[in-house]
Structure 1
């Protein structure tokens, strides 16, 4: 792995390198190195009598997400990764197109023994992460089922703010919301209404030869 940590590493070395941090209304898994960098910046700012509001804004910007890797087998029966979620109109779960989330479940690989052997370690580390994320006595849930299948959810659309509008216009055409592939006309109409207010957050997928596909 060129960056991040492999969850199947029996040494569990990553545990000393990551930490959950509260950001706005959610929790991020970030690197301890970035947290230390923020603390150092705060110390320097205090010495220089820097403005507290500016320091807070910079702190959020410098937190670095922790990147974790695992080799898993995606379940054929629980894979909902079509670019438009096969949307035909509002549903009980997703009333608005911009709230669409792509989901899938994944478990132990079957083709490569080395990754099959690592899978129990992956599960152990995922359980550790979830326990670390738990707040008080509130248990974490919905990320793993009783069969040790991991559940994944990907938020597909992000609302634009004033600072990100220009940046979004510089993305490759394939990543532009106006070019995002849909199956049904209802989804196309909903997509077009979002062009000026949202951007797409693609979930890259690759075939066995390394060819990129957009999901």
Structure 2
């Protein structure tokens, strides 16, 4: 338990762990692009001071601009962390989102979003932190709520008491950031995933993104010149990047350390406040087959790496619980097999019995009780 307690102590010592009761004082909502996002309160104060100085300097200049949001691109959303279980009952991380044609929420394949629900892990140490994290998110949402508006996103607001919250991932982004000429990114693209880790984006080719049906395959082929794919920065217990074809099998039911950004915007015509929690990264702490064990004595957690190294030949050769085998071609490591617009293989459609048998056969180096 000492390694687990040490890991939690490191989280508590950081500035943005949602399980820390003091975290809310270090956070603030500010306009970033079109939306309000949670940023560092300290950075927001510095930004406001700089903007005031700039305004005082330029106020006599004809054409000078001021007001909320000016220079907001200098502010970045903070990554908020929480330890939680990915609910097996509410995990929709199939890489193509099972898209089979236009819908009200996803009129085109380019609009798809993956999502899942985070719930409290079984371990009591982090279960208490998770409950506090939900209270903190609720308080943050209240800071920007609009009187008379309904709330949507993140929580199931008809649920009482709340037992979890939804996180999401935007899969595709336009190659041209300013696609409407207004100098701003489309809503959701402000996640800056490409800038965060361009090496990961370069590993994934849009045409090889796994799809499950002909409609999605055809739509994907038509996006080659207009969009790029943004994978989930999801890592297994060894710190290896999880391939898209394995999102469901390796994340559903797993205990993860999730890093998220919070956004808010208003929809005036519906009188609705919308909130989202976007995935920055997911790190598996306890694999699904272990996290869901009915026996507390069998629950384990792997040692926590200082950083997620991603897929590497060295880790593939030395680790048992890895995204691939050493010597495999890069496209096969990432997607399971080579091919343009590859249809999802059986990895994400096999029976639960087959998954259980496979998990039992895996050799996972787990060192401390969870």
* TM-score normalised by length of structure 2: 0.50
CA contact (8 A) 2:31 2:72 kept: no
Aligned equivalents of 1:16, 1:133: Cα separation in 2: 15
Provide the residue aligned with 1:126 in structure 2. 137
CA contact (8 A) 1:206 1:212 kept: yes
Q: How does 1:74-153 map to 2 (within 5 A)?
A: 74-110=86-122, 112-145=123-156, 146=159, 147-153=162-168
CA contact (8 A) 1:4 1:67 kept: no
The count of residues paired between Structure 1 and Structure 2 equals: 209
Deviation of 1:18 after TM superposition, in Å, equals 1.3
Deviation of 1:107 after TM superposition, in Å, equals 0.6
User: Please, which runs of 5 or more residues in structure 1 have no aligned partner?
Assistant: none
Provide the residue aligned with 1:154 in structure 2. 169
Provide the residue aligned with 1:213 in structure 2. 242
Pick from 64, 88, 93 the counterpart of residue 52 of structure 1.
64
Q: In the superposition, relative to structure 1, how do residues 162 and 134 fare at CA in structure 2: closer, same or farther (>3 Å)?
A: closer
Aligned equivalents of 1:162, 1:154: Cα separation in 2: 18
Aligned equivalents of 2:74, 2:228: Cα separation in 1: 22
DSSP 3-state at the match of 1:22: strand
Aligned equivalents of 1:54, 1:191: Cα separation in 2: 42
Aligned equivalents of 1:84, 1:75: Cα separation in 2: 19
CA contact (8 A) 1:45 1:55 kept: no
Provide the residue aligned with 2:183 in structure 1. none
Q: In the superposition, relative to structure 1, how do residues 133 and 44 fare at CA in structure 2: closer, same or farther (>3 Å)?
A: closer
Q: What is the root-mean-square deviation in Å for CA atoms of aligned residues?
A: 3.0
Aligned equivalents of 1:133, 1:162: Cα separation in 2: 27
Q: Deviations over 1:95-134 (max 9, x none)?
A: 2101101111121101x22112222211211211221231
Deviation of 1:188 after TM superposition, in Å, equals 2.2
User: Please, which runs of 5 or more residues in structure 2 have no aligned partner?
Assistant: 1-10, 180-193, 245-370
Aligned equivalents of 1:95, 1:209: Cα separation in 2: 38
The structure that has the greater radius of gyration is: 2
Q: In the superposition, relative to structure 1, how do residues 54 and 213 fare at CA in structure 2: closer, same or farther (>3 Å)?
A: farther
* TM-score normalised by length of structure 1: 0.81
Aligned equivalents of 1:57, 1:175: Cα separation in 2: 33
Aligned equivalents of 2:80, 2:236: Cα separation in 1: 20
| Structure 1, 123-132 or 134-143: larger mean CA deviation | 134-143
Deviation of 1:140 after TM superposition, in Å, equals 2.6
